[in-house]
A and B are shown apart, each in its own frame.
Chain A
Amino acid sequence: MTVMENGIGASVKRREDFRFLKGIGRYTDDMTMPGQTYCAFVRSPVAHAKLGKIDLTAALKSPGVVQIFTAADIEADNLGGVPCGWLVTGRDNKPMVEPKHPILASGKVRHVGDPVVAVIAETLAQAKDAAEKVSIDYQELPAVIDMKAALRGGGSAVHDEAPNNMCFDWELGDKAATEAAFAKAAHICKIDLINNRLVPNAMEPRAAIGAYDIGTDEHTLVTTSQNPHVIRLLMGAFVLNIPEHKLRVYSPDVGGGFGSKIYHYAEEALVTWGAKKIGRPIKWVADRSESFVSDAHGRDHVTHAEMAFDKDGRATGLKVDTLANMGGYLSTFAPCVPTWLHGTLLAGQYTTPAIHVNVKAVFTNTVPVDAYRGAGRPEATYVLERLMSKAAAELGLDQVEIRRKNFIRSFPYQTPVAVVYDTGDYEASLNKAMELADYKGFETRRAASKSKGRLRGIGVASYIEACGIAPSSLVGALGARAGLYEAATVRVNPTGSVTVLTGSHSHGQGHDTTFAQVVAEKLGIGIEQVDIVHGDTAKVPFGMGTYGSRSIAVGGTAMVNALNKVIDKGRKIAAHLLEASEADIVFEGGAFQVKGTDRKKTFGEIALTAYVPHKYPIDMIEPGLEETAFYDPKNFTFPAGTYICEVEIDAGTGQIEVAKFVAADDFGNIINPMIVEGQVHGGLAQGIGQALLENAVYDEHGQLKTGSYMDYCMPRADDVPSFQVTTTNTPCTHNPLGVKGCGEAGAIGAPPAVINAVCNALRDYGAVHIDMPATPEKVWRIMNSAMPKAAE
């Protein structure tokens, strides 16, 4: 296929870079509204307590204070709680327990960081000073932290509605068939593992500005969101009772999301509602410490899993029992993460015929947990890929060979866990990864490392994910309270330039560039003729936003469908102008041409004619050239690939260095290879971060011990290597671009690749598993608690 200079498949340099590089990007905190006030929240310093008296006397006298809000004010206005967007139904058809999540804590606080009081003042410093003068009587209750202890009950309940702290008890798969497979197994591989709790840490802290115009009765919320229309829907309909036409939500430049900016948060509702109460705009910006205790966290699973194999190393059954932490309240998509985004991915790339998964979701006195880059799929992949490499070691098979034996090779493939993979070629990405990693040369490198006193290990992980979220009828049946289509409007301007209004949202993904490439290619016009508009409910008709690697697969398809409608209308206009039959008009290279002749009209001429319809079939077609499409995907997309990691461990200190990291991904067709590689790099660093560095640690009292960058180990430039990334391509079969999505793969495949490599390096110490993050201390303890086996 030839690649147009700025079309599909070209590594076009990003158009959005200029403003970011010049320091003239426009993030929420960069904006100041006339008359703006500042909000500081008083947050609970304890994990679990009954709220006693709240004394505002001193705070109200503090200089610059405009207003102070507590739960009493919220309740006086009868506002709703922060809603949950997904109802999971558990065993015996029992719906999840869904307690109210008040905007400001009412009666009780349920995690450190739970907002109790909102102080509004003339300046931020004044708001913070006054907040310190608020006196709150916390009558402490025992903190519920450990999930197993929480479920045993008998102690404290986070919510009265769930005396044993169980939110739901959910299962998927055929239990009887799975038990039967285990009964016949030649080998059973067992593992207990923890998928460590992470803090997403987009570099831009969350921020929100609320405003109200009494003249038009219009509310505005500027917020750091991945999906402003979803926020408008949730906050307008469920919390503040503001209809859509009186509520504008926009998210200008957003400094990263990784899932944490999907959800509707209490602070957004407070500033929007409060702005009307005080008649002035209110701005709130989280400082990083506040982000740590108020942004939804990710992962936090405790799992026991077993995999049954026949005598040839073929997987015959898989059982997974997981405890999933929900935190103190249900965040927007929290219940769907450990269920429909986790259980459904447990087939992985393998033909395992019988699978059963049970997930118990648990309330604890911790920050709510929700989707973080990968969301459920990293947890599933980690379980499966640790089992595969552990089983390989137990069965005396190579990590690669056990995977090859079990690959799915024929498509479409119905898994035993509800989803249908449309296409894939797992062998191809495995082979490409092995070649790039020089897999065959590993033992030589291992020996070379050993001679330097370093332990070298190699880890393989073959992941699959479900992206392009999602068919509405399917997710509706599974408990989603929204549709998951996407919308796009293609507005052709009279002189032939094009404005696309997309419901997808870019917060680092580069849509200004990739979406424009698709338009340029489809319409045969210059990329500079195309403008991509997103992130504003006042401009974009509707949208479900960006998460789950859905932008190009769902948002891109909506845009392509709208482009096709534009081309269809253009063909009608051209047929009229060229006095030809519509069926004889072909659109190619930016021109409508009568087949087999040189008679043609350029796209620009057709646009102008549509808006200046002097010679125009006005009885048959309307003037103007603007089309909208809503696209509801037919299936998920299934990106997949193989990652190979090599680590070197300092035998004296346990320090781990990632010596080599290879990623071979099948994302289907690719719009902009440069941007795709960048997405993979970022995901890999987050995955390596989870495996080796990052951990959100609560003590038994519910204090977050890793509440800043001094304690929470973010991956830095010297913690990660340069990556070797490549792609294979089996185009998605059910969207017109053949695309699958690439945003989350790195974070999904990397953790098991790294841990498999660490375990491989430590094999002589009898290490069968090490929990993430594999810190030097854990490694050192393994090396010093067992004598190494005699050297080979």
Chain B
Amino acid sequence: MTQVSMDVNGKAITADVMPSTLLVDFLRRDLALTGTHVGCDTSQCGACVVHVNGASVKSCTMLVVQTNGAKVTTIEGLSQGTALHPVQAAFKEAHGLQCGFCTPGMVMSATDLLSRNANPSEAEIRDWLKGNICRCTGYHNIVKAVQIAANTLSTAKVAAE
């Protein structure tokens, strides 16, 4: 066993883990953060996307020991209580989710995109989301949701300045 310490959704966590433990299994099983999902076993589907030090990663392809000392944000940490993060709110507004299974990964991925590119084109959104598979929506409304969120976030930024 190896000891790891990290910040998960603003909470300090210290745990002993098998070195082979994947980040996604640690989050789901040890921390009961089951919002992060597993949809494949080849690092393709993106249902497991979380942020590590602000960048989106596929948590099925990262060992928990690699996140020692890191700040990890999962879908559960994106907003508090009954509030929705602007990206979450936009997915609801645009009907960007159906069964909800790919949604946490999709939202985390889209949030990272908007932190890097505040005003992405449709082509840039589609290109960025290639690593997140959705079987329900045909992506149409997911693209719309990301555009709405981009608007909300840039309006909020302008207002703050």
Residues of chain A having any CB pair with chain B under 8 Å = 13-14, 16-25, 27, 29-30, 201-205, 253-256, 258, 287-289, 507-510, 674-675, 677-678, 681-686, 708-710, 714-718, 720, 722-723, 746
Q: Quick check: B99 and A21 within 8 Å, CB to CB?
A: no
Residues of B within 8 A of A19 (CB): 100
B76 to chain A, nearest CB (A): 5
Q: Quick check: B39 and A203 within 8 Å, CB to CB?
A: yes
Instruction: Evaluate whether A21 and B84 lie within 8 angstroms (CB atoms) in the complex, with A205-B39, A289-B41, A682-B135 already known.
Output: yes
Q: Quick check: A675 and B95 within 8 Å, CB to CB?
A: yes
Instruction: Evaluate whether A681 and B140 lie within 8 angstroms (CB atoms) in the complex, with A17-B97, A23-B34, A508-B99 already known.
Output: yes
* 7 shortest interchain CB distances as A-B pairs: A23-B35, A20-B100, A255-B101, A685-B138, A508-B99, A23-B75, A709-B44
Number of interface residues of B (CB under 8 A): 54
Residues of chain B having any CB pair with chain A under 8 Å = 28, 33-42, 44-45, 47, 74-76, 78-79, 82, 84, 88, 91-93, 95, 97-104, 107, 122-123, 125-127, 129-130, 132-143
Residues of A within 8 A of B123 (CB): 718
CB-contact partner of B40 in A288, A510, A718, under 8 A: A288
Q: Quick check: B140 and A203 within 8 Å, CB to CB?
A: no
Interface-centre pick from A203, A204, A508 (highest chain B CB count, 10 A): A203
Measured in the bound complex, the distance between the Cα atoms of B93 and A21 in whole Å is 12
Measured in the bound complex, the distance between the Cα atoms of B99 and A254 in whole Å is 7
Residues of B within 8 A of A710 (CB): 42, 44
Q: Quick check: A24 and B76 within 8 Å, CB to CB?
A: yes
Q: Quick check: B140 and A723 within 8 Å, CB to CB?
A: yes
Residues of B within 8 A of A27 (CB): 34, 37, 101
Instruction: Evaluate whether A22 and B101 lie within 8 angstroms (CB atoms) in the complex, with A681-B138, A708-B40 already known.
Output: no
Measured in the bound complex, the distance between the Cα atoms of B123 and A709 in whole Å is 22
CB-contact partner of A682 in B28, B37, B84, B98, under 8 A: B98
Q: Quick check: B138 and A720 within 8 Å, CB to CB?
A: yes
B127 to chain A, nearest CB (A): 6
Q: Quick check: B140 and A22 within 8 Å, CB to CB?
A: no
Instruction: Evaluate whether A23 and B41 lie within 8 angstroms (CB atoms) in the complex, with A203-B101, A717-B143 already known.
Output: no
Measured in the bound complex, the distance between the Cα atoms of B97 and A675 in whole Å is 10
Q: Quick check: A509 and B130 within 8 Å, CB to CB?
A: no
Q: Quick check: A22 and B37 within 8 Å, CB to CB?
A: no
Residues of B within 8 A of A17 (CB): 91-92, 97, 100
Q: Can you name 14 extra interface pairs (CB under 8 A) apart from A16-B100, A255-B100, A723-B138? A: A21-B97, A23-B75, A23-B78, A203-B136, A508-B100, A678-B98, A681-B138, A686-B135, A686-B138, A709-B40, A709-B45, A710-B44, A717-B132, A718-B126
Measured in the bound complex, the distance between the Cα atoms of B142 and A723 in whole Å is 12
Measured in the bound complex, the distance between the Cα atoms of B137 and A229 in whole Å is 27
Measured in the bound complex, the distance between the Cα atoms of B137 and A722 in whole Å is 11
Residues of B within 8 A of A201 (CB): 135
Instruction: Evaluate whether A722 and B45 lie within 8 angstroms (CB atoms) in the complex, with A203-B102, A255-B100, A508-B99 already known.
Output: no
Q: Quick check: A256 and B101 within 8 Å, CB to CB?
A: yes
CB-contact partner of A25 in B78, B82, B100, B142, under 8 A: B100
Q: Quick check: A256 and B99 within 8 Å, CB to CB?
A: yes
Residues of B within 8 A of A202 (CB): 99, 101, 135
Q: Which residue on B lies nearest to A201, using beta carbons?
A: B135
Residues of A within 8 A of B93 (CB): 13
Q: Quick check: A21 and B92 within 8 Å, CB to CB?
A: yes
Q: Quick check: A22 and B99 within 8 Å, CB to CB?
A: no
A–B pairs, 6, beta carbons within 8 Å: A204-B99, A205-B38, A287-B40, A288-B39, A289-B42, A507-B99
Q: Which residue on A lies nearest to B47, using beta carbons?
A: A203
Measured in the bound complex, the distance between the Cα atoms of B136 and A14 in whole Å is 15
Q: Quick check: A722 and B122 within 8 Å, CB to CB?
A: yes
Q: Quick check: A253 and B100 within 8 Å, CB to CB?
A: yes
A534 to chain B, nearest CB (A): 14
Q: Quick check: A509 and B139 within 8 Å, CB to CB?
A: no
Q: Quick check: B141 and A681 within 8 Å, CB to CB?
A: yes
A85 to chain B, nearest CB (A): 24
Measured in the bound complex, the distance between the Cα atoms of B104 and A25 in whole Å is 10
Measured in the bound complex, the distance between the Cα atoms of B123 and A453 in whole Å is 21
Q: Quick check: B35 and A25 within 8 Å, CB to CB?
A: yes
Q: Which residue on B lies nearest to A688, using beta carbons?
A: B138
Measured in the bound complex, the distance between the Cα atoms of B136 and A509 in whole Å is 9
Measured in the bound complex, the distance between the Cα atoms of B84 and A709 in whole Å is 32
Q: Quick check: A709 and B136 within 8 Å, CB to CB?
A: no
Q: Quick check: A682 and B92 within 8 Å, CB to CB?
A: no
Measured in the bound complex, the distance between the Cα atoms of B138 and A256 in whole Å is 13
B142 to chain A, nearest CB (A): 7
Residues of B within 8 A of A682 (CB): 98, 135-138
B152 to chain A, nearest CB (A): 15
Interface-centre pick from B74, B99, B126, B136 (highest chain A CB count, 10 A): B99
Q: Which residue on A lies nearest to B140, using beta carbons?
A: A681
Interface-centre pick from B39, B47, B75, B97 (highest chain A CB count, 10 A): B39
B20 to chain A, nearest CB (A): 8
Residues of A within 8 A of B98 (CB): 256, 508-510, 678, 682
Measured in the bound complex, the distance between the Cα atoms of B102 and A349 in whole Å is 37
Residues of A within 8 A of B74 (CB): 23
Q: Which residue on A lies nearest to B122, using beta carbons?
A: A722
Measured in the bound complex, the distance between the Cα atoms of B137 and A717 in whole Å is 10
Q: Quick check: B41 and A287 within 8 Å, CB to CB?
A: yes
Q: Quick check: A717 and B99 within 8 Å, CB to CB?
A: no
Instruction: Evaluate whether A288 and B41 lie within 8 angstroms (CB atoms) in the complex, with A24-B35, A508-B100, A716-B133 already known.
Output: yes
Measured in the bound complex, the distance between the Cα atoms of B141 and A685 in whole Å is 12
Q: Quick check: A288 and B45 within 8 Å, CB to CB?
A: yes
Q: Which residue on B lies nearest to A258, using beta carbons?
A: B135
Interface-centre pick from B36, B37, B143 (highest chain A CB count, 10 A): B37
Residues of A within 8 A of B140 (CB): 681, 720, 722-723
Residues of B within 8 A of A684 (CB): 138
Q: Quick check: A22 and B76 within 8 Å, CB to CB?
A: yes
Instruction: Evaluate whether A717 and B42 lie within 8 angstroms (CB atoms) in the complex, with A21-B88, A27-B101, A203-B133 already known.
Output: no
CB-contact partner of A22 in B28, B35, B136, under 8 A: B35
Residues of A within 8 A of B103 (CB): 20-21
Residues of A within 8 A of B35 (CB): 22-25
Instruction: Evaluate whether A23 and B40 lie within 8 angstroms (CB atoms) in the complex, with A16-B100, A201-B135, A255-B101 already known.
Output: no
Residues of A within 8 A of B36 (CB): 23
Measured in the bound complex, the distance between the Cα atoms of B160 and A193 in whole Å is 60
Q: Quick check: B136 and A508 within 8 Å, CB to CB?
A: yes
B80 to chain A, nearest CB (A): 10
Instruction: Evaluate whether A674 and B97 lie within 8 angstroms (CB atoms) in the complex, with A203-B102, A723-B140 already known.
Output: no
Measured in the bound complex, the distance between the Cα atoms of B43 and A708 in whole Å is 10
Measured in the bound complex, the distance between the Cα atoms of B133 and A395 in whole Å is 42
CB-contact partner of A23 in B33, B91, B143, under 8 A: B33
Measured in the bound complex, the distance between the Cα atoms of B39 and A287 in whole Å is 8
A739 to chain B, nearest CB (A): 19
Measured in the bound complex, the distance between the Cα atoms of B125 and A722 in whole Å is 12
Residues of A within 8 A of B33 (CB): 23
Residues of A within 8 A of B88 (CB): 21-22
A479 to chain B, nearest CB (A): 30
A337 to chain B, nearest CB (A): 20
Q: Quick check: A22 and B75 within 8 Å, CB to CB?
A: yes
Measured in the bound complex, the distance between the Cα atoms of B138 and A790 in whole Å is 39
B58 to chain A, nearest CB (A): 12
Residues of A within 8 A of B39 (CB): 203-205, 255, 288
B153 to chain A, nearest CB (A): 16
Q: Quick check: B34 and A30 within 8 Å, CB to CB?
A: yes
B49 to chain A, nearest CB (A): 12
Interface-centre pick from B28, B95, B130, B138 (highest chain A CB count, 10 A): B138
